[in-house]
Chain A
Amino acid sequence: MSTVAPPSRRPMDPAVLVARDQEDVLVGNEIIRHKLSSRVLHWVVAVTFFGCVFTGMPIWTPVFGWMAHLFGGLTVCRVLHPWLGVAFFLSVLFEIFDWASDMRFRSDEKGWWGPKLIRYMRWEEVDDENVGKYNGGQKFFFWTAGLGALGLLLSGLMMWFPQSFPKILMQLAYLVHDATFILFMVAIIFHIYLGTVAEPGTFRSMTRGTVTRKWARLHHPGWYRQVTGEDPRRP
């Protein structure tokens, strides 16, 4: 017989317990933003992505040749990279199924690529109190990252088996793999910057799974209203 202590006497953080399988709910003074499975999936995406980055970049240019030592040399990188790439693509695919419903664009979220993005990065208010669980910029990044993963997969598969394709297409594959990777790197640098130092309290949503009320009101007031039923403007 299993002995599960009643919540009151079990020395366990109730938010963490609830965050195992629920999200978008209020526990105490915190809101659960990502349930455990979503967090694990995102870390799998992150680890496989950086596996690809650190095995791909030393092959890309000797400027990053030192990265190869993390894996035991360039030959190891060359063998590992495509497998990590396939793992990366598959985990992105799962993440798309996991998050797609929250990532649908609303009609008022047009134009995030451009003026709205710049205004956002100047910490000006964009879409005001309507911002839901994800803002337009996050949605835009989500879908382009999915597209980028597909581009890396297709060009990467060609680079894995170059003999199966005409040489003219191979030239294109190398260019597509490089261009997609470069754009991905620039985007991921800002993704990480925003998720850590620039917007304090965000990183926790990927570890503990929770955010504070203040964080939710500031960044995602529409979501706050939806989860708590309170007005984000007048706490």
Chain B
Amino acid sequence: MSLDIRRSSASVWGSASGMRTAQVVSKYIDTTTCIGCKACEVACQEWNDLGPVATEQVGTYQTLPTLHAEFWNLIRFNERDFDGGLAWLMRKDQCMHCDEPGCLAACPAPGAIVQYANGIVDVNPDQCIGCKYCETGCPFDVPRFSATTGKMAKCTLCVDRVSVGLEPACIKACPTGCLHFGTKQDMLELAKGRVQQLKGNGFAQAAVYDPQGVHGTSVITVLAHGDHPEYYDLPVDPHVPWGVKLWKTIVRPLGAIAIFGAVIGAFGHYMNHGRKGVKGADAHDANLPDA
């Protein structure tokens, strides 16, 4: 697997030479066959050497209320009343590895967030300055700041495993086969097939969640209630926040031009108008006579 970098935070380019072609990879998550066993949570903790996190009891099976700097893979449990009864919706929550990552767009530290040519979005803790800008940039509320390390942390899509030809730890641990890993194209095929099945089984609204607002993600999710991603705590139409785009692509360059412009402007003013109240070629401060 190629680890060429397609995009790097606060940098003009990544390091991809374009000589090798990397397939975009993706996780496949079928929420309809997830049984909420949390094997993936454990596998993630183990592979990534993450410490234990004390849970909060809020009357649910969910391990933690939300993702954590030491907990990157969380099965969310949502209960919903339908005419026919109760639906218990489980979804694997983690970094979505957006094709257009808002975290990367917001990050001010060169190389702290990179997007590999294979689509994986990763954090380099040695470059991260802990400013938390990525939290505002992410439409999925994923990056978490660790007070212990002073750095941001999130799912790496097991880039260390993927780069040597292994599947991510969570995928390997799943007992029902609701998780798969492969090229994005293959995973989309798989997902489409599963959606057809679901439609045949009476879930007319079943759909693949691969939000185009961020140009698709490297985690695609099959939802039985595809018309209501919010039932699964997923944003309906995620995109890089407008404020972040305005900040980074308009205000920043215009601001730099304005600041350089002011320096040039002051210099131009000096050439055009000279000093106030000074006459003569070699007049200067000390030449200003008293009284």
Chain A residues in the interface with B (C-beta under 8 A): 29-30, 59-63, 65, 74-75, 77-78, 121-123, 159, 162-163, 167-168, 170-172, 174-175, 178-179, 181-182, 185-186, 189-190, 193, 197-201, 204, 212-215, 218-219, 235
Given contacts A59-B108, A235-B291, contact A186 B273 (CB under 8 A): no
Given contacts A59-B108, A62-B10, A185-B259, contact A123 B273 (CB under 8 A): yes
Number of chain B residues whose Cβ lies closer than 8 Å to a Cβ of chain A: 47
- B49-75 vs A, Cβ < 8 Å mask (1 yes, 0 no): 000000000000000000000000000
Please state if A213 and B291 are interface contacts (CB–CB under 8 Å): yes
Collect the chain A residues with CB atoms within 8 Å of residue B190's CB: none
Please state if B252 and A178 are interface contacts (CB–CB under 8 Å): yes
Q: Which residue from B110, B136, B251, B266 sits with its C-beta under 8 Å from A190?
A: B266
Main secondary structure of the interface of A (DSSP, over half): helix
Chain B residues in the interface with A (C-beta under 8 A): 10-11, 108-110, 129-133, 135-136, 141, 145, 150, 241-244, 246-247, 251-252, 254-256, 258-259, 261-263, 265-266, 269-270, 273, 275-278, 283-285, 288-291
Please state if B108 and A198 are interface contacts (CB–CB under 8 Å): no
Please state if B135 and A200 are interface contacts (CB–CB under 8 Å): no
CA distance A219 to B278 in the complex (A): 12
Given contacts A121-B269, A182-B251, contact A212 B110 (CB under 8 A): no
Please state if B269 and A200 are interface contacts (CB–CB under 8 Å): no
Shortest distance from the beta carbon of B150 to any chain A beta carbon, whole Å: 8
Q: Which residue from B10, B133, B247, B270 sits with its C-beta under 8 Å from A198?
A: B270
Please state if A75 and B266 are interface contacts (CB–CB under 8 Å): no
Most chain-B CB neighbours within 10 Å: which of A181, A200, A212, A215? A200
Collect the chain A residues with CB atoms within 8 Å of residue B284's CB: 200
Please state if B259 and A198 are interface contacts (CB–CB under 8 Å): no
CA distance A235 to B265 in the complex (A): 35
CA distance A109 to B144 in the complex (A): 52
Q: Which residue from A62, A174, A186, A219 sits with its C-beta under 8 Å from B262?
A: A186
Given contacts A167-B241, A172-B243, A218-B276, contact A75 B129 (CB under 8 A): yes
Please state if A163 and B256 are interface contacts (CB–CB under 8 Å): no
Identity of the chain B residue whose Cβ is nearest the Cβ of A121 in the assembled complex: B269
Tally of A-B Cβ pairs under 8 angstroms: 132
Collect the chain A residues with CB atoms within 8 Å of residue B276's CB: 123, 198-199, 218-219
Given contacts A78-B129, A179-B251, contact A214 B241 (CB under 8 A): no
Please state if B252 and A175 are interface contacts (CB–CB under 8 Å): no
What 10 pairs across the A-B complex have the smallest Cβ distances? Answer: A171-B243, A182-B255, A193-B266, A29-B290, A189-B262, A200-B285, A186-B262, A78-B129, A170-B136, A218-B277
CA distance A182 to B284 in the complex (A): 32
CA distance A195 to B255 in the complex (A): 23
CA distance A218 to B278 in the complex (A): 10
CA distance A60 to B150 in the complex (A): 19
Collect the chain B residues with CB atoms within 8 Å of residue A175's CB: 243, 246-247, 251
Collect the chain B residues with CB atoms within 8 Å of residue A78's CB: 129-131
Collect the chain A residues with CB atoms within 8 Å of residue B278's CB: 200
Please state if B290 and A163 are interface contacts (CB–CB under 8 Å): no
Collect the chain A residues with CB atoms within 8 Å of residue B256's CB: 61, 63
Most chain-A CB neighbours within 10 Å: which of B135, B258, B285? B285
Collect the chain B residues with CB atoms within 8 Å of residue A213's CB: 290-291
Collect the chain A residues with CB atoms within 8 Å of residue B242's CB: 171
Please state if A122 and B251 are interface contacts (CB–CB under 8 Å): no
5 additional contacts (CB under 8 A) given A174-B136, A175-B247, A200-B275: A121-B269, A121-B273, A171-B241, A178-B255, A193-B266
Collect the chain A residues with CB atoms within 8 Å of residue B291's CB: 29, 213-214, 235
Given contacts A75-B129, A122-B273, A178-B252, contact A163 B243 (CB under 8 A): no
Identity of the chain A residue whose Cβ is nearest the Cβ of B134 in the assembled complex: A162
